[in-house]
Structures are given as structure tokens and as C-alpha cells.
Amino acid sequence: MISSGKAAQFLTDSDSKAFDLEHRRKIRFNIGKYNTAVQTGLGWYRDHELARSRAAYRKSQIVNNLDQYLLQWEENFTKRGGKVIWAQDAKEALTEIGKIVARKRARTVVKAKSMTTEEIHLNHFLEQNGVESVETDLGEYIVQLNGERPYHIVTPAMHLSKKDIADIFVKHLHIEPTDDAQKLVATARKLLRGKYTAAEVGVTGGNFLVADVGGVAVTENEGNARLSATFPRTHIAVVGIEKLIPTLQDLDLFWPLLSTSGTGQQLTVYNTVYLGPRQPLEKDGPDEMYVVLLDNGRTNLLAQPDKREALQCIRCGACLNVCPVYKNIGGHTYETTYSGPIGSIITPHLAGFEENKHLSYASSLCGACSSVCPVRIPIHNILLLNRQQSVREHLNDKDEERGIKLWLYGMKHRWTWSLAPTAAKNWVLERLLGQVGWSKRRDAIKLAPKSFRQQWKERPKK
């Protein structure tokens, strides 16, 4: 499918990245390491398919009863002094966060890795309002220094080699050139430690909202989220409304599934459940805790029963790691917060269907994404449903629409194919397929000089 605007840019960028051999080498090397680790991790399960089925069932319960679980979670969270902000869209979320930051007269905000804050462009908003926003996850910090968006849901700097990172540190932090990874990590650690103690506000996301205790569960490998939520006097968690799970006990199912599917670990290093601000007998934690419950288009998906399973996603990144399209064109090509297969099915509904419909065509429909999803989202099927919606709403390319109508007429009226000579048919084929890029790196398709019907008529009679 060819269109103008974002779709045309997507095709141009995809073409460039797919033939950038150095980029593909880095991505395949890094994804290869994860895929090897994941295969090892799956071996620790006695029955991984049963775990996937249970997780899919629990998340399906949530998605189909989201209003009830959200109210249950809010009631339990506010009992311990937590404050809840319901944000219909990114603008509302940013406005409310801005009010909190202004009340605290914050000059510095430390921020743990969070895709929802990327979704609402929180860093840009804070910087516009004169507030320093510092990413504390190492990968996020690296891409922030380089002025980029995260490349991958789980691994923001997956597209960078050790040399690339060293060059970024030399350029922006003015250190001596080095190829020692430990020195690079130590440099970032030294700079970030001072930010934790100076920041007035800490921002995190939330991997899960635990309904029965009113908790915000965060899982991480570096400990930066704990520091971001503990040192500052105010903690803000920005979480999508779909991130609920029913009970605290469900974490023993979802935490291992998330880590094994994403990185191959049995469990990530730091797993924390935040139940609100610091209580009277507690020695650490923030004085205030806010949770911004973000809709931002999620109810658009919720309203479509055949597609709402996409809201079951736990953001493990497994579908990105197996996708042949993602491995060739990379994360930045999508120009969206959520890239890869899961991004292709949810972004049109979160960020505007007409502008992002092309993403649902960026797939070979091989089904690898659906086969590895830990909550059994039928991703390849939802991609097809998105395509159907494009056609139903007449959002597809007009040339494509005319071409399909012409083909359909020809299929129903076989005699029309015999009207034109073979040379004319070849000219039409070359023109049509050339428009969609078929002939760019392939030989043009040529029809046989004689049709099967002609050859059948001319066969020797016995």
C-alpha cells in the first residue's frame, strides 16, 4: 500500500534501513543475544504454554471488566493517601503533571524508564517549562543524550554499539575516549547519583496496577526506578489504564513471564510494589504519591471487541525480537512510541487511525509475533482487522482501491482478459507493480505469450 505523508516517509526510511548493512549487523547481534537467552529461560518452565494460557485468561478478565477493576484499584490506592489523576489524553496528563511540578517549585525531575511518559512526550513538556528532566535508565539516558527516541520497548539503545555509546559520551559528557564498558557505566552512575538527591520530583511508569491492594508494580534491572521513587519528596507514576491485574498473587505469574519473554531472565533484578506515599512508621519513601491513569485512545480499542485483546499487552518486547520486518527496518523507522508488531496494531487507535494505518501493512503476517506473545494476543489477526477497517472506512490509497475493483471485475468476467494483447497486459502489470515498488529490485513480471486457454485449444487432438 502506498500513500502520502507519514506512510511515504515510512517507506523511504524502511528502504534506507533495510539496506544499511551495519545497522542490520548491530540489530541482529543484539536481538540474537536476547533470543538465545529467551530460549534458555523458557527451559525453566515446566509448562510454559499453560502459563501463557493463564496469563491470557487473567488479562482478558481485566480488559472485559476494566471499569470495575479500575474503581477497585482507585479505592484501595487512595485509602493509603495516594492521589489519582484520570487523564483522557496526553494534554490532560501533561497539564496535571505540570501543576504538580509547579506547586513543588521543581527544577529537576528524575525519571525511570517509562513508555507511557514517552507516549505523552513528558521530557519535551518539562524542558519547555524550564524543568530539567533526566532519564535514569542507562539506555534511556544514552538516547536522551543523543537526542533520540527509544529504539526498542525494552532496550532503548539496542541500535548502538559500544563504540557508538563511547562516542556519544565523548561528545556530550566530554570524557576521554575509551572502549571500556565499565568506565562508561561508572561515568553515567557518577552523574546520575547527584541528580537523585537534587530532584524534587521522581517519575516512574508502572508495569502492573494491582487491583486488590491498590499497588503500582514496577520491575527493573538497574535499581534506578527505586531511587527515582524514594529520594524525591514527590513520586508521580504515569500508567496506562489497561495495566491492571486482579490480585497481588498474580504477580508470581506475570513477573516471570514478562522477564523471560523479554530478556530471558527468570526474574528481573528489582521488583517493587508501591502502595502510596510514606506511611507514619515507614522510614523512606515520598511524602506524596500521584498516579496518572492514562487513557489516550485506549478506550477506542476497548470499544472494539474483536481488537481489544491488544490491551492485554504487558510490554515484554518479544514480538519485536522475532519480527522479520522489525529486524530489517529497526525501531526508529516506525516514528511512533510503540514500534514493531504490537505498535503496529495499537498505534492507529492511540494516535489516529488515518495517519498511522500504514503500520498495519508493515508485516509479512508470518505469525511469529502471535506465537511468542506471553498473553496470547493474536497480533497477526488484529493486523488484518486493522487493514479491513482501512478499506471499510475508505482510508486506503485510491489507486489501490481502483486496482482491486478492476481485479474483482476481471475475476468475475473472465472474457475481459482476452480483449487486450499480451504486450498491453505486460505494460499494465509493469506500471501497477512499479508503483508499489515490486520492480525496484526484481525483474518485471512477464505474462506467457499464450494463455492456458489458448494452449489448451491448440493441444494435439488424439
Q: Could you tell me if 356 and 453 lie in one domain?
A: no
In degrees rounded to 5, what are phi and psi of residue 290?
-115, 145
Q: Give yes or no: residues 417 and 367 share one domain.
A: no
Domain boundary among 279, 296, 313: 296
What range defines the domain where residue 242 resides?
Answer: 44-296
Residue 305 pLDDT: 95
Domain boundary among 278, 296, 314: 296
- Digit-coded pLDDT (tens) for 390-410: 999 988 877 778 778 887 888
pLDDT at 1: 47
Same domain, 99 and 172: yes
From 262, 278, 296, give the residue that closes a domain.
296
Domain count along the chain:
3
* Same domain flag for 108 and 225: yes
Q: State the cell numbers at 269.
A: 533484578
Count other Cβ atoms within 10 Å, centred on residue 173.
12
Q: How many CA atoms lie within 13 A of 205 on its CB side?
A: 25
Q: Per the structure block, which three cell numbers stand in for 296?
A: 489516550
Percent pLDDT > 90 in the chain is 80
- Indicate whether 358 pLDDT > 90: yes
CA pair distance 126, 86, nearest whole angstrom: 20
Contact 391/408 with Cβ under 8 angstroms? no
Q: Are 306 and 271 part of one and the same domain?
A: no
What span, in angstroms and rounded, lies between the C-alpha atoms of 163 and 64?
A: 47
Q: Is 249 left (phi over 0), alpha (psi -120 to 50) or beta?
A: alpha
Residue 120 falls inside a structural domain = yes
Residues 418, 281 share a domain: no
Pairing verdict, β 132-135 and 108-111: parallel
CA 118 to chain centroid, in Å, comes to 10
Query: Closest Cα to residue 20, out of 318, 327, 324, 321?
Result: 327
Looking at residue 13, its pLDDT comes to 93
Asked if residue 38 belongs to a domain, the reply is no
Q: Would you say residue 462 lies in a domain?
A: no
Distance of CA 79 to the CA centre of its chain: 33
Q: Is the pLDDT of residue 232 over 50?
A: yes
Residues 263 and 373 in one domain: no
Residue 30 located in a structural domain: no
CATH number at residue 271: 3.40.50.10420
**Does 338 share its domain with 443?**
no
**370-380: per-residue pLDDT in tens?**
999 999 999 99
pTM of this structure: 0.91
Do 188 and 239 lie in one domain? The reply is: yes
> pLDDT digits over 245-276, tens only?
999 999 999 999 999 999 999 999 999 999 99
Cβ neighbours for 167, distance < 8 A, ≥ 6 positions apart: none
Q: Do 253 and 148 have their domain in common?
A: yes
pLDDT band at 2 (very low <50, low <70, confident <90, very high): very low
Residue 37 included in any domain: no
Q: In this predicted model, what pLDDT tens digit does every residue of 418-454 receive, in sequence order? A: 777 888 888 877 777 766 667 777 787 888 888 888 8
78-130 pLDDT, tens digit each? 999 999 999 999 999 999 999 999 999 999 999 999 999 999 999 999 999 99
**What does the alpha-carbon distance between residue 430 and residue 432 come to, in Å, rounded to a whole number?**
6
Q: Which amino acid is at 161?
A: S
Q: Pick from 377, 316, 409, 336: which is nearest to 118 by CA?
A: 336
User: Which pLDDT value is given to residue 46?
Assistant: 95
Tell me if 35 is assigned to some domain: no
Domain membership of residue 383 (yes or no) is: yes
On whether both 414 and 387 belong to a single domain, the answer is no
Assigned domain for 34 exists: no
Q: Say which CATH number the domain at 306 has.
A: 1.10.1060
| Average pLDDT rounded to a whole number, residues 168-197 | 92
Which residue shows C-alpha cell 507519514? 6
Judge if 56 and 150 occupy the same domain: yes
pLDDT at 433: 72
